[in-house]
């Protein structure tokens, strides 16, 4: 058993070396699944992520399968998918991860003739996710040591990467992280299976659509001029925390620069998207801030579609924000509504870069 473990060591070290060369947190998560699955002899592995309230916010599934080519040669095919419908997670997984969270250690649960196994992922001293797999036998001591070691390397490196993608003042994602999100979302929008046929023959997205908003604090310069930059920074921090609390746990929020923020949300339709953004605007308007008391924000947003480049979607949301400012501030404007009402004319962007 020791010799078998030693023979796997060079391969494992090589995988860890590749893992720690990655500069994107979501690619790093996929690399974790690609590393541990083959080591454990399983074809399917999953990574579950939770927020500070222990709500599931992201699930990544990794699957390997053997495919026989036309010439008779067999090869392994990988598929990585992110689950968007978190309300439909298997009950046995929810029950098992609840036990892992409460105990702070790996747990197993019998499912048919196999065992469902879950290991905790730690962020500091708190459980922030779970590594889950299923197979027909118990985890052996050597395997357990390997899993724990890989998860520790992963968690430590993930924390370092995460810090590099965060704004220092607010703790929100920064522009670097926004660019990475653009790449991932547009890959999803461009997948052939992202569309489904309805009975009437029209194409529709089989899950949620993505919407991007640019959010700006109204009259922020006057706050800095009247009260100083220390108060200005405090306002930025408070607004950031209020927005984080008001947006849903699955929504992404970035500090884009100065008093400007970008949000990316998933919503089935335009009405839901508008409700999400309006709820945030109203929450800021209703809050009593220290010294300045009242504060408002303006929001411009646009739907993300595969055949429009990210830079143009961002530009459309920004134009909508500017229109909201022109019309008196403290408003939520949709690019598509402004287009339909004739305020805007359709423009085509031929640029290929994100920023």
Give residue 46's pLDDT band: very low, low, confident or very high (50, 70, 90).
very high
Q: How many domains does the chain have?
A: 2
Q: Are residues 87 and 131 in the same domain?
A: yes
Contact residues for 301 (Cβ-Cβ < 8 A; gap 6+): 211, 212, 213, 214, 263, 273, 274, 277, 317, 320, 332, 333, 334, 335
pLDDT of residue 75: 81
pLDDT of residue 124: 80
Contact residues for 200 (Cβ-Cβ < 8 A; gap 6+): none
Q: Are residues 80 and 199 in the same domain?
A: no
Alpha carbons 259 and 296: distance in angstroms, whole number: 12
**Residues of the chain above pLDDT 70, percent:** 88
Q: Are residues 237 and 150 in the same domain?
A: no
pLDDT, one tens digit per residue, over 63-95 is 988 777 777 777 878 888 888 677 778 899 999
Alpha carbons 190 and 304: distance in angstroms, whole number: 11
Give residue 187's pLDDT band: very low, low, confident or very high (50, 70, 90).
confident
Q: Pick from 164, 199, 218: which residue ends a domain?
A: 164
**Residues of the chain above pLDDT 90, percent:** 60
Residue that wins the pLDDT comparison between 334 and 345: 334
CB distance 252 to 264 below 8 Å: yes
- Tokens encoding 67: 């495919």
Alpha carbons 55 and 143: distance in angstroms, whole number: 29
Q: Are residues 61 and 90 in the same domain?
A: yes
pLDDT of residue 284: 97
Q: Is 56 a domain residue?
A: yes
**CATH number (domain holding residue 159):** 3.30.450.40
pLDDT, one tens digit per residue, over 283-325 is 999 999 999 989 999 999 999 988 899 999 999 999 999 999 9
Q: Which domain range does residue 261 map to?
A: 175-340
Residue tagged 């501030």 (tokens): 329
**CATH number (domain holding residue 249):** 3.30.70.270
Q: Is 193 a domain residue?
A: yes
């Amino acid at each position: 058993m020791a010799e078998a473990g030693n023979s796997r060591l060079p391969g494992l070290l090589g995988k860890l070396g590749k893992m720690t060369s990655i500069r994107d947190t979501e690619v790093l998560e996929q690399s974790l699944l690609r590393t541990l699955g083959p080591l454990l002899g399983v074809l399917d592995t999953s990574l579950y992520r939770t927020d500070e309230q222990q709500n599931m916010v992201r699930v990544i599934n990794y699957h390997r399968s053997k495919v026989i080519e036309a010439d008779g040669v067999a090869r392994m095919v990988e598929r990585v998918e992110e689950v968007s419908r978190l309300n439909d997670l298997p009950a046995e997984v929810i029950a098992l991860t609840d036990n892992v969270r409460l105990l702070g250690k790996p747990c197993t649960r019998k499912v048919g003739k196999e065992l469902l196994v879950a290991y905790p992922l730690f962020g500091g001293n708190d459980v922030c996710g779970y590594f889950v797999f299923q197979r027909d036998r118990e985890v052996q001591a050597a395997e357990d040591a390997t899993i724990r070691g890989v998860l520790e390397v992963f968690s430590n490196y993930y924390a370092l990467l995460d810090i590099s993608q965060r704004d220092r003042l607010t703790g929100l994602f920064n522009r670097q992280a926004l660019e990475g999100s653009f790449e991932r979302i547009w890959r999803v929008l461009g997948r052939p299976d992202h569309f489904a046929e309805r009975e009437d023959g029209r194409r529709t997205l089989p899950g949620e659509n993505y919407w991007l908003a640019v959010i700006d604090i109204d009259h922020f310069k006057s706050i800095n001029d009247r009260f100083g930059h220390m108060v200005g920074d405090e306002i930025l921090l408070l607004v950031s925390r209020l927005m984080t609390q008001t947006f849903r746990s699955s929504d992404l929020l970035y500090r884009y620069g100065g008093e400007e923020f970008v949000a990316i949300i998933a919503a089935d339709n335009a009405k839901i998207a508008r409700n999400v953004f309006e709820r945030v605007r109203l929450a800021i308007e209703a809050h009593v801030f220290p010294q300045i008391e009242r504060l408002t924000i303006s929001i411009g947003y646009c739907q993300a579609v595969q055949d429009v480049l990210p830079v143009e979607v961002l530009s459309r949301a920004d134009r909508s924000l500017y229109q909201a400012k022109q019309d008196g501030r403290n408003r939520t404007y949709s690019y598509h509504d402004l287009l339909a009402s004739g305020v805007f004319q359709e423009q085509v962007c031929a640029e290929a870069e994100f920023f």
